[in-house]
Structure 1
């Protein structure tokens, strides 16, 4: 899954990215409000971490612009401000949750996972597709009760399909989610990952929609 972090403090941004990448997220970073606004409005993300105190364009203005433009990506607001009015302002501007600084990375990751599950229509951390179960919190996939070992990229592809079971994902979109903004996006390798997933999970696990892309199958 792919996330955007909009944070102008280098140290904080680096710590967040490191923690999220350990959890197999693909992470893009923006260091000011203008760049963050542009990326959020034009790239595909499962969730966004947004600091309210940003140079060039503040976080509340970024949120207002995203939401008025129809962006529905869940946003976790970060704030070092202590006043409850500031937190309320962030939520009223379109934030889905907030976290005060300083914070524990485990809590940030847990809140992001919860936002992503809810955005995908799944309140529980475990999704079942036929004989296949996906524990999004533990990042574990099982079939008939047996753990199926997946590579990080294979898991990202499959988890993306599971999170939006009715959506058809183009190969290019999946490549962006796997590789992120600053890496080479080779959509042809998505076919390789899908082929591997079908070998491990069964051919019915992923459906090909001719001319459009892939969506989750019946397991």
Structure 2
């Protein structure tokens, strides 16, 4: 059986710049009946571990280091032996909310394989300096974290984010993918590249 994608929705708190907000996060599990990786271990390590079941967890990949996307990564990794992967440019954000932990660092165009399926790292900064997306061409899917949502790019109104940078990332790295690519986001509904691409100029005009 080839790789498939499973979703777990967890709930908790996002904290930054002295504020806190209740959020629901999408946690994505990619793999087959034998091995999987987790994209964005958010809030509830037990719920994620239950969804993984008795399969081997090969990696916990963080699309960025805001606390709501990484706060279950360490307990999940410690209980399974999986490595935690993060882009080096977000290491400083990790250190603001997480304990010291041996991380593996991802660079642009790095490839990760699980269950015979390759995921390609796309460095898509803007929401944070080290934000990445994971493109799985065999699955016709890109995992965008908080870089692209149904309806536009992610928020850039907080520290360490930048609107022109996220627009460049979306335009040059994501909207160039095949139009039928499914976009699996860090929060909320999924979308497609075809659904989002026509609206780029609107986002720029309104400073989304």
Instruction: Compute the TM-score of the two structures, normalised by the length of structure 1.
Output: 0.34
Higher helix share: 1
The structure richer in strand per residue is 2
Normalising by the residue count of structure 2, what TM-score does the alignment of the two structures yield?
Answer: 0.35
